[in-house]
Chain A
Amino acid sequence: MRWIWIDKFLEFKSGQSAVALKNVTLAEEHLHDHFPGFPIMPECLMIEAMAQTAGILVGEARNFEEKVILAKVKKAVFYHYVCPGDTITLHAQIDSIAPEAASIEGEIMRGDERIAQISLMFSHIDNNLAGKQFPEENFVFTDMFNSLLTGFVESKTASEQVE
């Protein structure tokens, strides 16, 4: 099972930018412990949600041929708590993309209110870890991620990508 931290895409401009949405709910069990009596979405999961939004954007830019992994959190600044019942939107923009890696600028919003600024670097591991063995299949982009893109781009299944 993968923990997916975005519910759907609202916008997807191939190779440029994407906007994803997440609804935060008390049904997420970890919120009961983070913190008891004061449930807020952990900041690290907001970084992961941005990494998923931007990771899909970066992966799609190269037709999911690369295994895209989060390599560096360049910046993560949080301005407000995110609570159950909140809807947040994750705005990601490709800053630079090269055969080996990509850099993105991201912002998390709740309506018009800025919640966080997050800048990330992704590495295309096929190009950066020469000599190290990884599974042939693209274990980063699974069908679950693909389904999020339905309606935005012509999606391929994970098995089609391998071919």
Chain B
Amino acid sequence: MAATRDEIFEQVKDVLVDALGLDDDEVTAEATLMGDLGAESIDFLDIVFRLEKAFDIKVPREELFPAEAVLNNADFVSGGKLTEKGLAEIKDKMPHTDLSEFEQDPDVNKIADLFTVDAIVNFIENKVNA
């Protein structure tokens, strides 16, 4: 039976509360992982491991959090902003993320804001209901 979006959100919320030591009400759909919830790089791996267990799925880290590979590629970044190519790559690799605002000003410093709770829920929804 397919899981509903609300059920997935609740489970994702539990994962984030445990992984990041948060209170329940801090985890909202719009919250950004790094800015709002204080996640650091190792936390992303912790979150990936916990999501795999909670949903019994395989989560390749670069699939859920692909920005690192993009940022480390000189073709994709120029002058602190993503190039056309970089933006196309991010769009391709992050179909579960709303990029409409980011596209207006693809500043690399804003990439962190793309990782929202909602993006994780979208990703999981695609995986478990595929």
Listed in ascending order, the chain A residues whose CB lies under 8 Å from chain B are 71-72, 74, 95-96, 98, 100-101, 103, 121, 123, 128, 130-131
Contacts and interface: CB of A to CB of B under 8 A. Distances in A.
Contacts of B48: 98
A71 B53 CA distance: 20
A71 B45 CA distance: 10
B41 A103 contact: no
Contacts, number: 31
A95 B46 CA distance: 11
A100 B45 contact: yes
Contacts of A103: 45-46, 49
Interface residues of B, number: 12
B33 to A, nearest CB: 15
Nearest to B21: A74
26 contacts: A71-B42, A72-B42, A72-B43, A72-B46, A74-B19, A74-B46, A95-B53, A96-B52, A98-B48, A98-B49, A98-B61, A100-B45, A101-B42, A101-B45, A101-B49, A103-B45, A103-B46, A103-B49, A121-B42, A121-B45, A121-B46, A123-B42, A123-B45, A128-B41, A130-B72, A131-B72
Contacts of A121: 42, 45-46
Nearest to B53: A96
Main SS at interface, chain A: strand
Contacts of B49: 95-96, 98, 101, 103
B61 A100 contact: yes
A90 B91 CA distance: 46
Nearest to A101: B45
Nearest to A97: B49
Contacts of B45: 98, 100-101, 103, 121, 123
B108 to A, nearest CB: 15
Q: Which of B49, B52, B61, B72 has the most CB of A within 10 A?
A: B49
A88 to B, nearest CB: 26
Nearest to A131: B72
Contacts of A123: 42, 45
Contacts of B61: 98, 100
Nearest to B19: A74
